[in-house]
Chain A
Amino acid sequence: MIGPTPAQITEELRRFQARLAEGARTLHGLGPIETGVLSRDPVYQEDKLILYRYQPRVAEPHPVPLLIVYALVNRPYMMDLQEDRSLIRGLLDAGLDVYLIDWGYPDAGDRHLSLADYILRYIGHCVDHLRERHDQDSINLLGVCQGGALSLCFAALHSGKIRNLVTMVTPVDFHTPDNVLTHLIRHVDVDLLVDTLGNLPGQLLNFTFLSLSPFRLAGQKYVDLVDILDDVQALKNFLRMEKWIFDSPDQAGEAFRQFAKDFFQQNKLVKGEVVIGGQRVDLRNVTMPVLNVYASQDHLVPPAASKALAGCCGSRDYSELSFKGGHIGIYVSGRAQREVPPAIAAWLLAR
């Protein structure tokens, strides 16, 4: 039954408009929106890449550093979005010494960067820098989403340099039936795409992500925003997330070509057929301890796509951590702050 009378609907619309008008003024007066709240220092730089060290939050951090490899898609400040939503803070509080690769924003000059550049050169140089800096033969590596797939490739090719590997919401089998991103990219002529555009524009990626749930992400979200326009704190939280969503770097053309074709379209990672810099990536060479963290309600990287790692990596010390939440919630939800960093830190500190 329809409860509200026409007069009540008119009144509801009037209140909505009034809140919108008042809120638009609040929005204009908000001032700068900050993301990435923790203190950090650049310790290594190569091309557009900057390797940051986060200031430790304990007197004597763990001697083996942890290197976070974020995806090339979107910006890594999602790992340290705000004071009370920071996975990195949780890792620091647990006593870890945390480093993060910021890939920067590729431009036309980066069109020819390949996956070999990203994996062997960039990740490789960061790993070597940290091994030397901390006087360690091997370091801990945490790969996030696509960064997890890149980390797996590196770990398979240089297993001696990685003491422990953590993968977070990382796709391994790209052809599980519920993988909607693969479904969308399967019929795209990737060669035509890269040959035509050079780098893949971030806006095209944005469209792809928005098109997965357009009525919620491009419609309802903004109608609901009107409800919180008078709450400065909630508004700032919304805008931080909004900033991150639309802050999509272009993707270096050649790296995208290989990732889209070999990983998404041909599912070569799980088959052991990916070739990086002339070397075949065999996940059976991932022999170090592995913690595979996935989100049970992840619609971008379905749990089955991540859990496939169990069946193809060579580690005898393989564990999984299932987080009840989605692909973004695993970084920023309140429960994630309580559950995920302590679990990762405890697992690392025990090894």
Chain B
Amino acid sequence: MAEQTDSPDPSGFDIELLLKQARTYLAFGEQLQPLSERFHETLGQDGDWGEALRQHFDQLKAALAEAADDPGGHADLARLWTVTLDTWRQTAASLGVPATLAPLAGVNAKAWQAYQSVQGQYLDLLRQAARDALDLMEQRLGERAAAGATVESLRELYNLWVECNEETYGRMLRGPDYGALNGRLLNALLGCHARGDTPA
């Protein structure tokens, strides 16, 4: 008595999930290529690798922040920062509250503004965790270099990036601010929903 579904199946597997993350991985590769270039140049010129690493990560943080501020500009890169927010917005949309900053046409603008404000705070917290993850990754790469260990592939760099993000995100998630904010975010969204003032 097997339960069956055709594949790909929207209720089971959405191939877009795979394609989205593949594009994000490619964007990650594009961002990391200059680091590799800089490293090999520095190596050839007997330069300061630590300084080169620092400069690259500063640029990386700036590029990601820019992408996150304007996801329309480079959505695949922005997703490196905002994977949680993306999922949240999809969830909110499924509950009838679309991810739009459109001005309200309804009368209950207060609830909508309150939701936007909490969502902004939520995004700030995610950004901080993502920045911390880049600092941690820079630190880990520096430690590896000091120990003479080599990162062998782009995938290894990506896995290190995931590991650093999970670590800083996990700390944020378990902290008191996130628990309270998570509750406020859902409550604020429900506030919009309940008052029937979500934009069409």
User: Which residues of chain B are near A12, meaning CB under 8 Å?
Assistant: 29, 153-155
Instruction: Give the chain A neighbours of B1 by CB distance below 8 A.
Output: 36, 38-41, 52
Complex Cα spacing A252 to B118, Å: 28
Query: Chain B's interface: helix, strand, loop or mixed, by majority?
Result: helix
Q: Return the chain B residue nearest A229 by Cβ.
A: B18
B45 located at the interface, meaning its Cβ lies under 8 Å from any Cβ of chain A in the complex = no
Q: Is B183 an interface residue (CB 8 A)?
A: yes
Please tell me if A279 contacts chain B, counting CB pairs below 8 Å.
Answer: no
| Contact of A28 with B8 in the complex, beta carbons under 8 Å | yes
B9 touches A243 (CB 8 A): yes
Q: Judge whether B88 is part of the interface by a CB distance below 8 angstroms.
A: yes
Q: Confirm or deny: A242 has a beta carbon within 8 angstroms of a beta carbon on chain B.
A: yes
The answer, yes or no, to whether A193 is at the interface (CB within 8 Å) is yes
A187–B182 touching, CB < 8 Å: yes
- Which residue in A28, A186, A226 is a CB contact (below 8 Å) of B183? A186
User: Which residue of the partner chain, among A187, A188, A243, contacts B13 with CB atoms under 8 Å?
Assistant: A243
Given contact pairs A4-B36, A13-B26, A239-B13, A32 touches B7 in the complex (Cβ within 8 A): yes
Interface check B72, CB cutoff 8 A: no
Contact A4 B95 (CB under 8 A): no
Interface residues of A in 235-272 (CB under 8 A from B): 239, 242-243, 246-247
Bound CA–CA A222/B83 (angstroms)? 13
B37 contact set on A, CB distance < 8 A = 6
Please give the number of chain B residues whose Cβ is less than 8 angstroms from any Cβ of chain A in the complex. 74
In the bound assembly, the distance between CA atoms of A213 and B167 in angstroms comes to: 10
Q: In the complex the two chains form, what is the Cα distance from A180 to B148 in whole Å? A: 38
Query: Which residues of B sit under 8 angstroms from A221, Cβ to Cβ?
Result: 21
Q: When the two chains form their complex, are residues B2 and A34 in contact, meaning their CB atoms are under 8 A apart?
A: yes
CA distance A185 to B186 in the complex (A): 10
Stretch at the interface among A61-69, A204-212, A322-330: A204-212
- Cβ proximity bits A50-78 to B, threshold 8 Å, 1 near / 0 not: 00100000000000000000000000010
Interface centre among A30, A210, A214 (most CB of B within 10 A): A214
Does the CB pair A2–B151 fall under 8 Å?
yes
CB neighbours (8 Å) of A218 from chain B are: 17, 21, 83-84, 86-87
Query: A257 to chain B: closest CB distance in Å?
Result: 14
A208–B95 Cα distance when bound, in Å, is: 14
Within the complex, what minimum Cβ distance (angstroms) separates A61 from chain B?
A: 19
Chain B 9-36, CB-CB to A under 8 Å as 1, else 0, gives: 1011101011111101110010011111
State which residues 1-38 of A face B: CB under 8 Å. Answer: 1-6, 8-10, 12-13, 16-17, 20, 24, 27-28, 30-38
A125 within 8 A of B: no
**Cβ-defined contact, A247 with B2, below 8 A:** no
Contact of B95 among A8, A20, A197, A211 (CB under 8 A): A197
Are B84 and A214 within 8 A (Cβ)?
A: yes
A4 lies within 8 A of B154 (CB): yes
A321-B49 Cα distance, complex, nearest whole Å: 51
- B2–A36 contact, CB under 8 A? yes
From B62-70, B101-109, B158-166, the one touching the partner chain is: B158-166
A207 and B186 CA atoms in complex are apart in Å by 12
A1 to B53, CA, bound (A): 10
Are the CB atoms of B5 and A32 closer together than 8 Å? Answer: yes
Question: B13 and A4: CB pair below 8 A?
Answer: no
> Contact partner of A33 among B4, B21, B159, B186, CB < 8 A?
B4
Q: Which residues of B contact A234 (CB under 8 A)?
A: none
Chain B residues with Cβ below 8 Å from A196 are 190, 193-194
In angstroms, how far is the closest chain B Cβ from the Cβ of A215?
Answer: 4
Please tell me which one of the listed residues B11, B17, B95 contacts residue A222 in the complex, with CB atoms under 8 A apart: B17
A131 at the interface (CB under 8 A from B): no
Complex alpha-carbon distance, A35 and B90, angstroms: 27
* 27 contacts across the A-B interface (CB closer than 8 A): A1-B148, A2-B35, A2-B40, A3-B152, A4-B153, A6-B33, A9-B36, A13-B29, A17-B22, A24-B19, A28-B8, A32-B4, A32-B6, A33-B6, A38-B1, A183-B179, A187-B182, A188-B183, A189-B183, A192-B194, A196-B194, A214-B84, A215-B162, A218-B86, A219-B24, A226-B18, A246-B12
B contact set with A: CB distance below 8 Å: 1-9, 11-13, 15, 17-22, 24-26, 29, 32-37, 39-40, 49, 83-84, 86-88, 90-91, 94-95, 141, 144-145, 148-155, 157-159, 162, 165-166, 169-170, 173-174, 178-180, 182-184, 186-187, 190-191, 193-194
Using a CB–CB cutoff of 8 Å, the interface residues on chain A facing chain B are 1-6, 8-10, 12-13, 16-17, 20, 24, 27-28, 30-41, 52, 77, 180, 183-189, 192-193, 195-197, 201, 203-204, 206-207, 210-216, 218-223, 225-226, 239, 242-243, 246-247
